[in-house]
Structure 1
Amino acid sequence: MSTVTLLVILGGVFIVVLFGLYLLLGPITRRIGGSRLAALQGDKERIEAENAIRQTLIHAAGGILLAGTLAASALAAKQSYESLEAQRDAQVTDRYAAAVEGLAAESEAVKAAAIFALGRISKDSEKDRDAIIQAISASVRDSAKRPPSNVEGDRQKVGEPPVGIEAALIVLGRRDRAGESHRLRLEGAYLANARFHALKLPGTFFNRANLAGVRARGEDTDLRNVDLSQAVLTCADLGWVDLSSYEPESTGVAKRTNLKYAELDGANLSHAKLRGAMMDGAELEYAHLENADLSSVTGLKSKQLERAFTNKETILPKGVKIERHYQGKEYHCWN
């Protein structure tokens, strides 16, 4: 806006204000006073009455002006906020598009950077968080599919997941879970030898996934209520990890940790919390269950523990007994 235009606008406002004051203090005052002013005999009384009316009108005009100013300020603030939100949404959209493009890169380093960028966007934009997390988990399922069974056993004994997969697990395991409407889905994923240390992944679907050799040891790792049915957990290090159910006594599957038919041969579950887990058909040969909490576990049979390492501190569910603690050979774990 030019200086001349601004001066013209200010001049117009000044003239309008002066004219308004003239009307307010002159014709409007006399019209409101009307016959009552005319009835007054003395000039002094008439002037005092007119001043009282003028004072009331000025106060009323001031209140109206203040209300108008506040309304205008609120409107301006709203428009400014909407403008900033629009700019922010546009920036988020640009960042999201660039990050998603990076997911398709051949370089694992570029993929990892894209995933970390998406994780940052999910923290900056609450309304996009759920969609971003689901997109990351979908990328893991697509890029970490289990290999054919005839090569999977040998492959899981060498190497860790690609850098991009490790980055995805970190973002997913450290995400803000407030307001999530869906459980995380990583079913059928090949995550052998992945690092789960201090990750928070409660309620995640890991059914039929390969988690052989995963390293998750520590009380900071949260795997409560996960679905690990038919998952491969051979030689997994789950010592001290919380694998308990949300509601150990519940009859609802959605509120229980699911370890049905999971392969836990040679897994370390010492000091692990498994309260309320469903363990029908779980394979526990040579698994370490010393000091593990198996209270309220369902589906577990004494036979499943014949060649599992237990001690007197192992808390067993009702109906399960151990005649003697297994003292035999260890499972040959590559890790």
Structure 2
Amino acid sequence: MSAELTISEQGQIADRYDAAVEKLVDDSVDVRRGAIYSMQSIMTDSPRMQPAVIDMLSKYVRDRATKTPVLVEKAPDIRAALYTLGNRDPSHDGKAVIDLGGVRLRKVDLNGVDLTSANLEKAVLSDGDLEKADLSGADLESAVLTGVRLTGADLTNSYVKRADLRGADLTGADLSGADLTETKLARANLTGTIWKCTNLSGANRPEGDLPDVTSSMAPDRSRSPGCDGTLP
């Protein structure tokens, strides 16, 4: 009886997921937002479905916010998708990775969310709020983060090569092991920033006050390097 019940429950979860996916293309933003919150509930009820939800919601945001910039505060469906992705239980991610590469989100609020190892390559998040966000191991290559609030953010072992951080607030951010090769840092607030083993080769800082912490090799994003490029 227990096995039959489990199979029945799994079938119900699958049906709920399929129904939610169908509603993601509805013309009504309220219906789409409801479908997204349904997916959030599905992740809670069935952690094994979380990788599928991550992939689907990542694609949803990319499809709607890549070609044309989206003002997030006026897009409740995008806001709901980002909240769901950022407030999941990462222990159930499996091999799934949040993929928001190339998105163009204006005034996005990702305060405190978990974007560990996320793909944000070439994403435009200007003037967004990522205070205390977990971006450890994230790919931010060529991302536009001008004016972004990253106070207290975790950027350890992240890949920020050629990103634009001009005017960003990095107060208290942890950039240990991060690769900031050729990153633009003009007018960025670097008060209390942690730089251990950070690669700053070619980083542009007209103010000229970058620390001399460039390691002999760029961080390997698959592991946590020590200052000599080896595991501590």
TM-score range, shorter chain: 0.7 to 0.9
The match for 1:239 is 151
What is the CA–CA distance in structure 2 between the aligned matches of 1:261 and 1:306, rounded to whole Å?
16
Q: Are the equivalent residues in 1 in contact too, given 2:20–2:36 (CA < 8 A)?
A: yes
Shift of 1:280: 1.1
What is the CA–CA distance in structure 2 between the aligned matches of 1:129 and 1:318, rounded to whole Å?
38
Moved over 6 A (4+): none
The match for 2:80 is 167
Query: After the TM superposition, which residues 78-227 of structure 1 pair with which residues of structure 2 at under 5 Å, given as runs?
Result: 80-147=1-68, 160=73, 162-179=75-92, 180-218=94-132, 221-227=133-139
What is the CA–CA distance in structure 1 between the aligned matches of 2:198 and 2:155, rounded to whole Å?
11
The match for 1:63 is none
The match for 1:305 is 205
Percent of aligned positions with the same letter in both sequences? 29
Q: Give CA-to-partner distance per residue, 1:115-169, whole Å, 9 cap, x none.
A: 111111022113222112111111111111143xxxxxxx68x663611111111
Shift of 1:230: 0.5
Q: Are the equivalent residues in 1 in contact too, given 2:199–2:214 (CA < 8 A)?
A: no
Change (3 A) 1:194 1:159: closer
Q: Are the equivalent residues in 2 in contact too, given 1:161–1:194 (CA < 8 A)?
A: no
Change (3 A) 1:161 1:274: farther
What runs of 5+ residues in structure 1 fail to find an aligned partner? 1-79, 148-154, 246-256, 320-335
What is the CA–CA distance in structure 1 between the aligned matches of 2:34 and 2:50, rounded to whole Å?
18
Q: Are the equivalent residues in 2 in contact too, given 1:214–1:237 (CA < 8 A)?
A: yes
Which structure's CA Rg is the greater one?
A: 1
Whose helix proportion is higher, 1 or 2?
A: 1
Q: What is the letter of the counterpart of residue 37 of structure 2?
A: F
> Could you state the TM-score of these two structures normalised by the residue count of structure 2?
0.84
Higher relative contact order (CA 8 A, sep 6+): 2
What runs of 5+ residues in structure 2 fail to find an aligned partner? 216-232
Query: What value does the CA root-mean-square deviation take over the aligned residues?
Result: 2.2
The match for 2:213 is 317
> Could you state the TM-score of these two structures normalised by the residue count of structure 1?
0.59
Q: Number of aligned residue pairs: give it.
A: 214
